[in-house]
Amino acid sequence: MKTYFARPKDIKRDWFVIDAKGLPIGRLATRVATLLRGKHKPLYTPHIDMGDAVVIINAAEVHATGKKEQTKYYHHHTGYPGGIKSVTLEKLRAKYPERIIEYAVKRMLPKGPLGRQMFKKLHVYAGAEHPHQAQEPKAYAVEV
């Protein structure tokens, strides 16, 4: 029996829209990462980007459990000596609410060119409006 590997011509991409209102960050991010990788498809092949495009709306209203609003930190380094910068989830939500979901999903995808290609299919919006109506995205329900 031979192992089947999908080819680029076999890939059919769909568009999904997810309403993040009231959903826990991690639960949402795992479902989105699965859709972006294409693991929900029967023809899944690990070394090919088979995933679908995902539009997330109401990202500003995503839920964090416990005391994470004040205790969860996001760190980055500027590249200069002593240049580590930190921001809490609360401050990140006030300034860039889309980045909360983007950071969570990006860290669940493969590292390297394949993961970057998958991440480009994620579109996150803080409010309820999005400019992707022409792609006719299907509603995707995330169970909590």
The whole-number pLDDT of residue 4 equals: 87
Domain ranges of the chain: 15-139
Q: Do the Cβ atoms of 58 and 136 come closer than 8 Å?
A: no
Q: Is the pLDDT of residue 144 over 90?
A: no
Single-letter amino acid code for the residue at 65: T
The CATH code of domain 15-139 reads: 3.90.1180.10
Condensed to tens digits (0 to 9), the pLDDT of residues 71-83 reads 999 999 999 999 9
The whole-number pLDDT of residue 26 equals: 96
The whole-number pLDDT of residue 1 equals: 85
The whole-number pLDDT of residue 143 equals: 87
Strand-pair category, 84-88 with 138-139: unpaired
pLDDT-derived band at 51 (thresholds 50, 70, 90) equals: very high
pTM score of the predicted model: 0.93
Contacts of 78 (CB under 8 A, 6+ apart): 84, 85
CA 89/CA 101 separation, integer angstroms = 11
76 is written with which tokens?
A: 């980055």
The dihedral sign for the CA sequence 112, 117, 122, 124: positive
The whole-number pLDDT of residue 88 equals: 97
